[in-house]
């Protein structure tokens, strides 16, 4: 899809569709959350990567809406893989980003919905069903609708790493080299917090934190956060400063200044 076709895309129609999808995902997920008999399967033979019927039900519900409303678009989802399309647009879905948090009852997980073309994601939504917060960004504007009402989002202007708040999900952050790279940044920051899942990216978009640093990501983990944070005024790249929408290592920052400080450290981490 060209820049011209991206700009002519009806973003409000995409937002309407995404909102219906997020509503359907909420309805599918919430009956399972904090349930005493929630069953989980492990995707890994060595380690723990849980999946639940809530993950599967939510993705089925979202795909059903796309089948009805946008059958020509492609879909990439965590649970049910890729479906080809002919429109040049791909919906990138993670029905529950943070399933480990979901199964332990913490509210940092969320539903991720992105719309992407050949240049990467340009529409992003992070929905937290239990809290009732929906973060959305596209077309240079980002906002959150939730318990505090509807409010516009903008990222923070922190310029010095010594003043920054850094977020990630796991202290291990990938392999040993990646872990060392993360802690080299975090060691210079004012505050580091763990266990954030996708909610950390929403906090960067909302101006509550400065950096999220992660590794070993899949495209469906990062594409919605990229579009949301960029619409709120931030920047998301890989650890070399290039595009991050294919997954792998990601550095999300509230502004180019704090991004450059962190990148000077992370780009030295061996590939």
Angle at 172 between CA 157 and CA 187, to 5 degrees: 45
Are 252 and 245 in contact by the 8 Å Cβ rule? The answer is no
Assess whether 109 and 7 both reside in one domain: yes
* Residues forming a β-bridge with 177: none
Assess whether 22 and 109 both reside in one domain: yes
The number of domains in the chain is 2
Task: Say what the pLDDT of residue 49 is.
Answer: 81
pLDDT tens figures, 140-187: 999 999 999 999 999 999 999 999 999 999 999 999 999 999 999 999
Task: Say what the pLDDT of residue 48 is.
Answer: 81
Assess whether 168 and 125 both reside in one domain: no
Q: Is the pLDDT of residue 86 over 50?
A: yes
pLDDT tens figures, 48-62: 888 999 999 999 999
pLDDT tens figures, 238-267: 999 999 999 999 999 999 999 999 999 999
Average pLDDT, the chain: 95
Q: Which CATH number characterizes residue 251's domain?
A: 3.40.190.80
Check residue 198 and report its DSSP letter.
Answer: T
Task: Say what the pLDDT of residue 4 is.
Answer: 44
Cα 14 vs. chain centroid, distance in angstroms? Answer: 17
- Model confidence at 1, pLDDT cuts 50, 70, 90, reads very low
Assess whether 147 and 167 both reside in one domain: no
Phi, psi of 143, deg, nearest 5 = -155, 170
Assess whether 259 and 196 both reside in one domain: yes
Are 129 and 111 in contact by the 8 Å Cβ rule? The answer is yes
Pairwise CA distance, residues 38 & 233, whole Å: 39
Question: Considering the chain, what percentage of its residues have pLDDT values greater than 70?
Answer: 97
Assess whether 75 and 189 both reside in one domain: no
Assess whether 177 and 148 both reside in one domain: no
Residue 26: HSE in the Cβ half-sphere, 13 Å Cα cutoff? 15
Q: Is the pLDDT of residue 47 over 90?
A: no
Task: Say what the pLDDT of residue 38 is.
Answer: 87
Pairwise CA distance, residues 181 & 183, whole Å: 5
Relative to beta strand 74-77, strand 90-97 is: parallel
Residue range(s) defining the domain that contains residue 187: 161-266
CB proximity list for 257: less than 8 A, separation 6 or greater? 157, 158, 159
Residue 182: HSE in the Cβ half-sphere, 13 Å Cα cutoff? 28
Q: Which CATH number characterizes residue 124's domain?
A: 3.30.540.10
Looking at 152, 178, 194, the residue that finishes a domain is: 152
The whole-model pTM stands at 0.95
Task: Say what the pLDDT of residue 8 is.
Answer: 54
Q: Beta-strand (E) ranges in 59-195?
A: 74-77, 81-83, 90-97, 110-117, 120-128, 133-138, 141-146, 149-152, 165-167, 191-193
pLDDT tens figures, 124-137: 999 999 999 999 99
Does residue 271 form part of some domain? no
Assess whether 169 and 141 both reside in one domain: no
Assess whether 89 and 8 both reside in one domain: yes
**For residues 19-24, average pLDDT:** 98
Q: How many CB atoms lie within 10 A of CB 195?
A: 17
């Amino acid at each position: 899809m060209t820049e011209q076709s991206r700009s002519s895309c009806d973003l409000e129609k995409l937002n309407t569709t995404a909102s219906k999808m997020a509503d359907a995902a909420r309805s599918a997920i919430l009956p399972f959350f904090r349930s005493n008999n929630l069953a989980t399967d492990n995707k890994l033979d060595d380690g723990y990567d849980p999946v639940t019927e809530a993950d599967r039900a939510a993705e089925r519900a979202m795909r059903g809406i796309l089948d009805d409303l946008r059958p020509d678009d492609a879909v990439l989802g965590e649970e049910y893989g890729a479906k080809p399309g002919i429109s040049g647009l791909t919906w990138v879905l993670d029905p529950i980003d943070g399933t480990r948090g979901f199964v332990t009852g913490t509210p940092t997980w969320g539903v991720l919905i992105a719309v992407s073309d050949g240049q990467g994601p340009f529409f992003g939504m992070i929905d937290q069903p239990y809290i009732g917060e929906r973060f959305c960004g596209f077309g240079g504007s980002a906002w959150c609708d939730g318990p505090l009402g509807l409010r516009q989002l903008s990222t923070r202007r922190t310029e010095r790493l010594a003043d920054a708040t850094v977020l990630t999900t796991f202290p291990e952050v990938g392999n040993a080299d990646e872990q060392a790279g993360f802690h080299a940044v975090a060691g210079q920051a004012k505050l580091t917090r763990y266990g954030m899942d996708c909610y950390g990216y929403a906090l960067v978009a909302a101006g509550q934190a400065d950096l999220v640093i992660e590794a070993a990501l899949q495209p469906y983990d990062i594409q919605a956060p990229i579009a949301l944070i960029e619409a709120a005024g931030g920047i998301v790249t890989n650890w070399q400063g290039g595009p991050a929408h294919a997954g792998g290592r990601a550095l999300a920052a509230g502004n180019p200044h704090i991004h450059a400080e962190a990148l000077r450290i992370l780009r030295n981490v061996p590939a």
